Amino acid sequence: MDTPALHSSTQVPTQAIGRSIILVDGLCIFCNRLVATIAKHDRAGRFFFVHIQSALGQAILTRNQHDPTDIDSVYLVTDAGTERERLHLDGAAGRLIWPALFRVAVLLRFVPLVLLNLQYRLFARVRYRLFGASTTCIVPSPELRARVL
């Protein structure tokens, strides 16, 4: 499958090629705190982070045939920027993210995917009401800044 030429801001940066990227809602305060928590526990540096609303986030969703306006999902891109690039949504993304950080999370594989997806979608609908939204950028630590694309 031919991929159209992409503007440089929509290409996966060299340091993230072949790696995993978590796409998050850049306005969601909970989501930004979650990024900090994941980064803190991801000592191996497995995950990079991209705001869904960014040019790169929009390009990743578009080339994986997903609606770039859908900010109510959890997205994980594996093998980013390669021919094997794959987009995982909601529960499927959670099944890959959490066990990489916490051994006990391996139990997620026993929870039916339909229930995980439902839980992610229901929480996404109320996250702004529970935690709010931010129109200003939260300044990450230097360590986290290196992993935010």
Q: Where are the domains of the chain?
A: 16-145
Q: How much is the pTM?
A: 0.83
Contact status, residue 74 vs residue 120, Cβ threshold 8 Å: yes
* pLDDT score, position 137: 62
Does the CA dihedral 66-68-70-71 come out positive or negative? positive
Is CATH 3.40.30 the right assignment for the domain spanning 16-145?
Answer: yes
Q: Kindly report, residue by residue over 75-122, the tens digit of the pLDDT.
A: 999 999 999 999 999 999 999 999 999 999 999 889 999 999 998 888
Provide the phi-psi class of 88: left if phi over 0, else alpha when psi is between -120 and 50, else beta: beta
Per-residue buried b or exposed e for 97-131, using 16+ beta carbons within 10 Å of the residue's own CB: bbebbeeeeeebeeeeeeebbeebeeebeebeeee
Q: State how far the Cα of 135 lies from the Cα of 72, in Å rounded to an integer.
A: 17
Q: Kindly report, residue by residue over 110-149, the tens digit of the pLDDT.
A: 999 999 999 888 888 888 788 878 776 666 677 777 888 8
Count the Cβ atoms, other than its own, within 10 Å of residue 96: 17
Helix (H), strand (E) at residue 135: none
Contact status, residue 131 vs residue 27, Cβ threshold 8 Å: no
Contacts of 54 (CB under 8 A, 6+ apart): 9, 26, 149
